[in-house]
Amino acid sequence: MAEVLLNPDREHSISAIAARVGASSPTALREVERLEAAGLVVTRKRGNTRLARAVTDGPVYGPLVQLLAVTFGPLAVLRDLLTEVGGVERAFIYGSWAARYHEVPGAVPGDIDVLVIGAPDRDTLADAIESAEHTLHREVNVRGVSSQAWADDNGPFKRTVMSSPIVELVDDRGETDGREHAKEDPLAGR
């Protein structure tokens, strides 16, 4: 479900779904048929290939995608991976993915923008991001900045990021706190 609904801008072959989620093709087909019966996906045949696409105009699509994004999407995946990277004091998603998460209308994001504040080991961070890209099938763009540089920054990048929706991934103790912010500086008062 997450594979198809979180990627509504493309059609998915049953074999590709199976490969991405580590299931057999018959299992993937059964699940797609269940989703189709529920009105969440539509399928069509192209030659011998059956393709599935998300139904995005149904009443449950928006809430269901929000739930999937939190449990299986960028928020869950990045939060899990970044909490394991030492030296990350703060991390959050910004840009188009954060805007869609906060229900700002727009196109489906092709990538995910992440700001990492602190002094993480670059190789460990790169490995975590590579793992996230593999899991999410999306490019993850990371911008890293030291805590002091972020606190001292009054430039246009910080102003733009902080005047738009963000989704917090990691707090300053390396633990998640479940907060999501829009138009708020995650380091305010620190």
Q: Please indicate, yes or no, if residue 190 is contained in any of the structural domains.
A: no
* Whether residue 168 sits in one domain with residue 103: yes
**Least confident span in 75-79, 148-152, 154-158:** 75-79
Q: Do 80 and 33 lie in a common domain?
A: no
- 123: domain CATH number is 3.30.460.10
Query: Residue 183 above 50 pLDDT?
Result: no
Residues 6+ apart with CB under 8 A from 54: 4, 5, 7, 8, 40, 41, 61
On whether both 25 and 118 belong to a single domain, the answer is no
Tell me, what CATH number does 44's domain have?
A: 1.10.10.10
Verify that 44 and 114 share a domain, yes or no.
no
In order of 65, 80, 139, 172, 179, the CA distances from 85 in angstroms are 27, 10, 19, 13, 19
Enter the pTM of the model: 0.67
Predicted pLDDT of residue 85: 93
The terminus-to-terminus CA distance of the chain in angstroms comes to: 40
Domain count, the chain: 2
Is 188 inside any structural domain? no
Please tell me whether residues 81 and 174 are part of one structural domain. Answer: yes
The whole-angstrom separation of Cα 19 and Cα 95 is 30
pLDDT band at 8; cut points 50, 70, 90: confident
Map residue 74 onto helix, strand or coil.
helix
* pLDDT surpasses 80 at 47: yes
CB count in 10 Å sphere of residue 8? 15
Q: By three-state DSSP, how is residue 50 classified?
A: strand
pLDDT-based confidence at residue 175 (cuts at 50, 70, 90): very low
Task: Give the pLDDT mean for 59-73.
Answer: 82
Which range marks the domain in which residue 35 is found?
Answer: 2-59
187 within a domain of the structure (yes/no): no
